[in-house]
Amino acid sequence: MKEVTLEVNGKKVTKQIQDHTLLSTFVRDQLNLTGTHIGCDTSQCGACVVHVDGKSVKSCTLLVADIDGSKVTTIEGLSQNGELHPMQAAFKKHHGLQCGYCTPGMIMSSVDLLQNKKNPSDEEIREWLEGNICRCTGYQNIVAAVKEAAKNS
Amino acid sequence: MIGSKVERTEDKKFITGKGRYTADITLHGQSYAFFIRSPHARAKIKKVDIAKALKAPGVVSILTGEDIVKDKIGGLIAGWKIVSKDGTDMKLPAHPPLAHEQVNYVGDHVAVVIAESLEEAKNAAELVTVDYKVLKAVVNTADAMNSENIYDGIDKNLCFDWELGDKAKTDEAFSKADQIVEIKLTNNRLVPNAMEPRASIGDYNSSSDQLTLYTTSQNPHLTRLVISAFNGVHPEHKFRVVAPDVGGGFGSKIYPYAEDVVVAWAAKKIGRPVKWVCERTDSFLSDCHGRDHVTHAKLAVQKDGKVTGLHVDTIANLGGYGSLFATVTPTYLYAPLILGLYDIPTAYCNVKAVFTNTAPVDAYRGAGRPEATYLIERIMDQAARELGMDRAEFRKKNFITKFPHQQCLVHNIDSGDYNAHFNKALELADYKGFAKRKAESAAKGKLRGIGFSTYIEACGIAPSSVVMSIGAGVGLWESAEVRFNATGNISVFTGAHSHGQGHATTFAQIVSDKLGVPMENIDLVHGDTDKGPFGMGTYGSRSLAVGGSAITKACDKIIEKGKKVAAHMLEANPDEIEFKDGEFIVPNSNKKKTIGEIAFACYLPGTYGEIKSPLPEGVEPGLKETAFYDPINFSFPAGSHICEVEVDPDTGETKVVTYSCVDDFGNLINPMIVEGQVHGGLAQGIGQALYENAHYDETGQLVTASYMDYTMPRADNFPEFRIEYTCTPATSNPLGVKGCGEAGAIASPPCVMNAVIDAIGTDVSMPATSEKVWSALKNKTNSEKKVA
């Protein structure tokens, strides 16, 4: 067991964890932040993407023990003061989600894309999201949503 | 609101991480289940030794097949009886929720370990030893009938040998044909891969004898019925099934699985909540798969291009057991649709369904109709090529043009205009400009091909009298309850279930228009057997056509009652009251009542001094109506899809570069949601054509059991789809809707494959991976050299 302190969605949390605790299970099971989803066991699907120190990462690939002291933002921490983040609003406007399961990871990943590139082309959006699998939407409305968010950011 | 692109009311919870899926639920005192699965495709279980594991830290209980027998827990069922052509009933093996004599596929359930934590359950599972006698597995669809019998009493591994159509008449058509076109096709096995893995939590209260099962279901009422009536776990009236937010289904979550039965039973047995969440590899192994047909088809054609007959022989792989909808999928959902939207005077279809040592196969997006469409559209292309006709013209020559049209097999198609969507698709795809684009691709060293596909579906399943006469174990109506609250807002209960389809929005749009109440005052309730009437769930593009119609009918009853109350309050005759935009009006007067006032009056019918009761004599208080809607016919969406692919001959890499479709779904309630459904279907269908394949090796090991090995379509695999519509309203339901959920997955596999074959000039099977396309090109070049 090891004690770690993280800043999660703006709040400091100190918890006892096992050495092998993954960030994905930590936020779900220990912090009850169930918006981060687990869709595979091979770090392929991207449903668990969160931000660690501002960058998107598949939370199933990180040991909590390795990120002691980091700032973590999950989907629950994206909207501020009750206002949807422009990416969240764009996903709603463009019907960029259906069952909603991949959506938190998809949004967190897309937000990071715009941090790296202000006005990505369709092709750049599709390439960036290659690590996020969606089975419902066929991706087209997700691409439209990211473009809209780029316009409004 | 009907016809408007209304943003979805359900979205906010999902985009803020507040969705509540089964795996998100934590119950006080819950234990964790881990299933021990068979590592062998076919084996006898000699002994399951749990003694050591029982002593492992944290273990609460370990249950095996012997416990299932002891507790008399019934097996999983196949819900649709198929009768073979010789008049005998289909043959089914027993399907116990935990195997106790024999395992029949890799992933089959052998035991469940329940512990204080998942980790402890997994660790203890390592200590369970299962002594197997491994037997030779039967894996291949085409060879299954010539292999060893998997089950005693099921000769040739044959579940049924079924036929549809007039064989003599069809044989005659072939004897008179100018040309006979033949094709052999494999419809590749797919894994549905809803992004949310399956999960279930059982919770039993021994004091009240109430059992609750939270589960990832498209169909909670059916799950309750089956687990109660057939598995015998708990009586239906004390059993609640909740399907909360469900992360996609595509057919794979229509029916209860072994894990649902075991978790519900175990929770009752140990007196504690039991939670199970599937891991992805276990999903690959144990979710029911889709497709897996091997087909030989023949088309009889006249010189002028008129098709005069179709003969189809299909072997359908059912996997290790008969799953709930497994037997109807390759029969009644398949064979009647092999005619496509062509006017073919006679046809015959024989389907042999076989058992193999692979995961059970069941309904997957389209269920039978993609297989039918793949067959007819591939053979139509082949025929046009052999006749030297333009593939578009050949199709048009054979379209049904008059409606209603009684097909030679089963369906009576009420409406459609096939030339309308085909011509529109030709324009949308710029067919005329194809030669130029092909030349441009050639200049870049790429091979470009164009593919056509037209399709017809039978949706809105289905008239109960029809389906029950052909073997269905249940009627397929749908229920709704529209419940006004005293304050004028509305709770709508539906037996359909939304797991991405946006029912909360679409259904509210219907109620809003019907009753003149704003969308924000309407809430949709679904997915809980304790709330609302029994329903038949969501699949087969039925929710709107059947469930939406039930809601419409319930709204009509509300208006009917409202008129009586309004008439009484306004001192008028009920027959003269008109209802419009949420108001009950006495014509040619200023007398009116809003529907909110009527609702309020219905709930407060007392008399207060001078104030008389607003309810007429004999009218009950309250304003809530239930309706069950049983459709009079299937609905028949149809459409035309055209795509272009580019192939790199050096690598075989194939990309869909344009995709155009024009669909006729009848009336559209929310075009934004409809478009999303089309996109998703296309992605799955293109996935089948180019990327996805569930591959078992000869020993029955699933080689593609993770996202590392099974190619899921990604964002960069697709062009921007061009989507348009035509509309001939359905006449079989009051909304005039036809269904849109499966169209994309039905039309796109043949569309893409016809384009690939057009590009490379030789046959290739699905999925047309780079390797296969490269090899096909190489073989073609080699054989051309030999000929030269």
Give DSSP secondary structure letters for B562-625: HHHHHHHHHTS-GGG-EEETTEEE-TTSS-EEEHHHHHHHHH----BTTBPPSSPTTPPSS-EE
Nearest C-alpha neighbor of B753 from the set B456, B457, B453, B383: B453
Interface size, chain A vs chain B, as Cβ–Cβ contacts under 8 Å = 177
Structure-block tokens of residue B27: 């119950």
Q: Which residues of B713-749 are buried (b: 16+ CB within 10 A; e: fewer)?
A: bbbbbbbebebebbbbbbebbebbbbbbbbbbbbbbb
The pLDDT of residue B230: 97
CB contact under 8 A, A44 and B684: no
pLDDT of residue B491: 97
Average predicted confidence (pLDDT) for chain A: 97
Amino acid at the residue B628: F
Across the interface, of B16, B197, B714, the residue whose CB is closest to A76 is: B16
B144: contact with A, CB 8 A cutoff: no
| Domain A2-77 part of CATH 3.10.20.30 | yes
Cβ atoms < 10 Å from Cβ of B622: 15
In order along chain B (788 residues), what is the average pLDDT of each group of 10 residues? 96 98 98 98 98 98 98 97 97 97 98 98 98 98 97 97 98 98 98 98 97 97 97 98 97 97 98 98 98 98 97 98 97 97 98 98 97 98 97 98 96 97 98 98 98 96 86 87 95 94 96 97 96 89 93 98 95 95 96 95 78 83 95 95 98 98 98 98 98 98 98 98 98 96 97 98 98 97 85
Cβ within 8 Å, pair A37-B196 = yes
Q: Is the pTM of this model over 0.90?
A: yes
B637 touches chain A (CB under 8 A): no
List the single residue in B10, B16, B280 with the smallest CB-CB distance to A39.
B280
The burial of B153, by beta-carbon neighbours within 10 Å (0-12 exposed, 13-18 middle, 19 or more buried), is given as exposed
B718 to A140: CB separation less than 8 angstroms, yes or no: yes
| B chain contacts of residue A44, beta-carbon cutoff 8 Å | 706-708, 712
- Closest partner residue to B14 (CB to CB) among A47, A103, A138 is A103
Residue of B nearest to A108 (CA): B15
B19–A74 CB contact, under 8 Å: no
Here the tokens at position B230 are: 């057939």
Q: Using a CB–CB cutoff of 8 Å, tell me whether B122 touches chain A.
A: no
Contact at CB, B500 and A136, closer than 8 angstroms: yes
Structure tokens at B701: 């090991």
Considering only CB atoms, which chain B residues are within 8 Å of A78? 16-17
What is the per-residue pLDDT for B608? 66
CB distance B14–A136 less than 8 Å?
no
**A114 pLDDT exceeds 80?**
yes
State how far residue A12 is from chain B, nearest Cα, in angstroms. Answer: 20
- Counting DSSP H helices and E strands in chain A, the numbers are 5, 5
Backbone angles phi, psi at A80, to 5 degrees: -115, 135
- From chain A, the residues in CB contact with B13 under 8 A are 100
What span, in angstroms and rounded, lies between the C-alpha atoms of B97 and B71? Answer: 12
Which of B578, B622, B568 is closest to B600 using CA atoms?
B622
Contact check, Cβ <8 Å, B16/A138: no
Give the minimum alpha-carbon distance from A120 to chain B in angstroms, rounded to a whole number. 14
Query: Class of A86-152 per CATH?
Result: mainly alpha
Please list every residue in chain B whose beta carbon sits closer than 8 Å to the beta carbon of residue A41: 279-281, 706
- CB within 8 Å: B21 and A34: yes
In A52-111, the residues whose Cβ lies within 8 Å of chain B are 74-76, 78-79, 84, 88, 91-93, 95, 97-104, 107
Q: Where are the domains of chain A?
A: 2-77, 86-152
C-alpha span between B108 and B39 (Å, rounded): 8
What pLDDT, on the 0 to 100 scale, is given for residue B788?
Answer: 73
Closest A-chain CA to B498 = A99
| Minimal CA separation from B286 to chain A, in Å | 14
- Candidates B453, B451, B452, B455; CA nearest to B339 is B455
Question: B20 and chain A: CB distance < 8 Å anywhere?
Answer: yes
Inter-residue contact B453 to B686 (CB < 8 Å): no
Whether chain A has a CB inside 8 Å of the CB on B245: the answer is: yes
Q: Give the closest of B195, B279, B501 to A133, CB-based.
A: B195
A127 shares contact with chain B (CB less than 8 Å): yes
For B16, B189, B359, B749, B751, the CA distances from B766, given in Å and listed in that order, are 39, 10, 20, 8, 12
Nearest to A140 among B248, B280, B679 (CB): B679
Q: Which domains does chain B have, with CATH numbers?
A: 11-135+198-277 (3.90.1170.50), 293-461+633-787 (3.30.365.10), 477-629 (3.30.365.10)
From CA B665, how far away is CA B644, in angstroms rounded? Answer: 24
Mutate to test the interface with A, among B6, B7, B13, B16 (most CBs of A within 10 A): B16
As a residue count, chain A comes to: 153
* Phi-psi group of B668: left, alpha or beta (phi > 0 → left; psi -120 to 50 → alpha; rest → beta): beta
Q: Which of B13, B195, B714 sits opposite A47 (nearest CB)?
A: B195
Q: Which residues contact B579 (CB under 8 A, 6 or more apart)?
A: B559, B562, B563, B585, B595
> Does the model's ipTM exceed the 0.95 cut?
yes
B443 touches chain A (CB under 8 A): no
The pLDDT, as a whole number, for residue B778 is 96
Q: Measure CA B420 to chain center.
A: 27
**Which of A46-55, A134-143, B457-466 is predicted with the least confidence, judged by mean pLDDT?**
B457-466
pLDDT at B462: 81
Cα nearest neighbour of A74 on chain B = B17
**Which residue of A18, A44, A139, A148 is the best one to mutate when testing the B interface, meaning the one whose CB has the most B CBs within 10 A?**
A139
Q: What is the pLDDT of residue B735?
A: 96
Burial class (CB in 10 A: 0-12, 13-18, 19+), A29: middle
Please tell me if residue A142 touches chain B, with a CB cutoff of 8 Å: yes
Q: What is the pLDDT of residue B617?
A: 85
